[in-house]
Chain A
Amino acid sequence: MPSDAANAPTCAVAAEASESLLAFADALLCAGQADKGPAAGDIQQFLTFFLSDEELGLPILRCREILRVSSITRIPEAPAYVRGVVNLRGRIVPAVDARQCMGRESAPPTSRSRLVVVEGAGRLFALLVDRVARIVKVDKSAIQPAPANAPALAGSVGLGEATVHLVDVDRLLHLGTAPGGAKAAESEQA
């Protein structure tokens, strides 16, 4: 057949094109995750937020994204620290009130409030904070141990004038799911 010669290389090109198409699609998926590589040396990065006038930090490797507070669906009888659930592009994740978790007075969200989507204890949740502040780099050696009465904190670090309390994300959620949390909700209902 006369088309033989022309067709053979075409097939090779076709295979290549489909590869590049896949690579293109892959790149889309990975976009936004590329900057999550391990931090160099002993420097850790934290995303900080405010509860009232207190600045707290979340390890940036655990933060997936920051959202404006849109609709949070209340779940009847939810423990006080869970304000409800939010729809994260099809995934339903609990919206956890950072104030309640840290033992502060709860406050209604304002226009500056944000949901920080955090990965903790093996799952995703959206942490409701008063406002998101900044990203800070912290040398591990500069981290002071947390006081014993603050189980949700991993430590604190002084940055110039300010002190940033570092949140232990895994423990934060674990505290919530501990029997105490569920019981509290129960007694509230009764």
Chain B
Amino acid sequence: MEDLFASLAKDFVDETQPIAQEISALLLKLEDAAAAGGAANTGLVRGIRSGLHTIKGNAAMMGLPPIEQLAHALEDLCAAYGEHESGAAATDVQLLFEGCDLLGRLIPSAATGRVDALPVEAFLGKVAGQKPSPAPPGNRLTQTMGVVPAVAEVGDERADQASIRVDDGGVDELLELSGETIVGQTELLRLHSRLARGQFEANDVALMDQVLTDLGRTARQMRHQLLRMRLAPMSTLFGRYTRYVRDLGRERGQPIQLVIQGGETAVDRTIIRRLYEPFMHLVRNAVAHGIEAPVERAAAGKNPKAQILLSARLREGRVTIFLADDGRGLDMAAIVAKAKVLGVDTSKLTDKAIQRLIFQAGFSTAKAVSNLSGRGVGLDIVAGVVQGLGGHIDVRSVVGKGTVFVFDLPVTVSLQKALIFGVDSETFAVPTGFVLDTLEVRERDMQEINRVLLLSWRGDFLRSADAGRLLGCQGLAQAWTRPYAIVLQAGNKRGVLLVDWLSGVQEIVVKPLDDSLAACRMVGGVTVLGQGRVVPILDCLEVVRRTSRALSAERKVIPAVESSYHAF
């Protein structure tokens, strides 16, 4: 019963959340239209009303009176607004905005089964003060299921991660592909049982080669399909700033328009999620530092209504995002002055290079700290986030014309948690899924038997390999001198890597290796750490295999087919 409710509640949130967002967007349009002349907005009003109606119905079904009442009241407001459209007061729209905000905050809390009725009370009171309200009777306080502090932001974030809408076709294709892997496995089993009986046939190697190639291709297709399922349109990111920009403008008493282009461009959810904060920061910066006061704009012959552009488009398999404003541009003198303070010589730098300095740590040139401007989050952090996603950020600015931030990002990313370690002068990463333990090596825990290094670990002796030698590092250090050990487990095999230093576990973006490096079987991909440093990610299956192989007396020859499996 509990589970059923939870899953229903989740469906409710999933379904109504986008509607609430849609209503918010329609309201903005309505407001624009009202400012432009008031006519021809019945369509918008109808859209808003039907959205509210859906939410009301769903809320009633779920037994969420506060949301139901709120939606009902908003529907009434909308109806009233629609009736006397030309004379509609701005306060009405403002009230609608407030109500929709509240709706947006309440919906996520439905997942917990506890929706706070108090803010709804307050809002309904406000509406009643405005005009006679037809709010339904009943002691609403008794309907409170609990008090939940409204945390819209966190709620948003969770809803983002919670579920993915997938079309049937995608699932069917995955199912088909998984079927193919079973076919491949059956084939391999058949081969295996025959080989185990010692019955070799002439074309066995070719046959296995074929099966492995097919399996490899299927695995890649599955991965591709899964990555595709993780895509979401950029509008899910961009749309979240429409309201924000409008409110920032209000705060400054100045109209600011957000122009969105290429919202349909599909990009990995992880990227969208990670960009939310940096974009918020950049948008806030654009308003706080970029856009001039209306008087100043008028004096410069600019449109008093300032603009911020968010645009995305696919280009050569990557996504290019522009975040532009038509403000005063970067203050070059201030950047140069700041550079001097920080001891950076700018005399030989081009204008472009000087502009790029703003991505360096400690380069905030803000003079006054206002509510609008940054709160400690620097552009260096923004650049770091982008770099972590395997992207690149650049800036161009023309004095008096505006500033454009250009993002170049991959369309899909795959994230993994990894342990970072170093050996000799090189750095590597191992996915934490394979790491059983990390420990400091005491000399008495190590033994060498038949030129095989063994580490005593939890009453077991594990075959150990010097990471420096295994990975071909150019160092003189010996296995015995490595202070740390990483215990790896892959399948039913364990192995130990002896290393020089360990650094923490971190979430990394996995980037594939170029085909020319397909033969490097101990490396599954690379990642980019701070300062753009590239670090190989070890393929633990292979590494563990090698650590155990390093010990076995008679080294087996690797069959040729394996290399083709990896090369495809």
Contact = CB atoms under 8 A, between A and B. Distances in A.
Partners in one complex: yes
B404 A182 contact: no
Contacts, number: 148
A14 B257 contact: yes
Interface string B363-407: 000000000000000000000001101111010101001101010
B410 A76 contact: no
Given A79-B519, A177-B516, A186 B511 contact: no
A90 to B, nearest CB: 4
Nearest to A124: B514
B153 interface: no
A102 to B, nearest CB: 16
A18 B309 contact: yes
A153 interface: no
B533 A71 contact: yes
Interface in B294-326: 303, 305, 307, 309, 311, 315, 320, 322, 324, 326
A175 B527 CA distance: 27
Interface string B506-523: 000001011111111111
Contacts of B518: 177, 182
Contact of A21 (B326, B513, B528, B567): B326
Contact of B309 (A21, A71, A79, A185): A21
Nearest to B398: A24
20 contacts: A1-B37, A1-B38, A22-B322, A25-B311, A25-B324, A29-B315, A73-B536, A75-B526, A78-B517, A87-B528, A90-B386, A90-B392, A90-B408, A94-B514, A125-B514, A176-B516, A181-B519, A185-B519, A185-B520, A189-B472
Q: How large is the interface on B (under 10, 10 to 19, 20 to 34, 35 or more residues)?
A: 35 or more
Contacts of B470: 76
Contact of A85 (B38, B391, B401, B514): B514
Nearest to B518: A182
Given A3-B35, A24-B324, A90-B390, A14 B520 contact: no
Most buried by A among B390, B409, B514: B514
A29 B402 CA distance: 16
B426 A90 contact: no
Contacts of B35: 3, 7
A28 B36 contact: no
A186 B563 contact: yes
Given A90-B392, A125-B514, A21 B303 contact: no
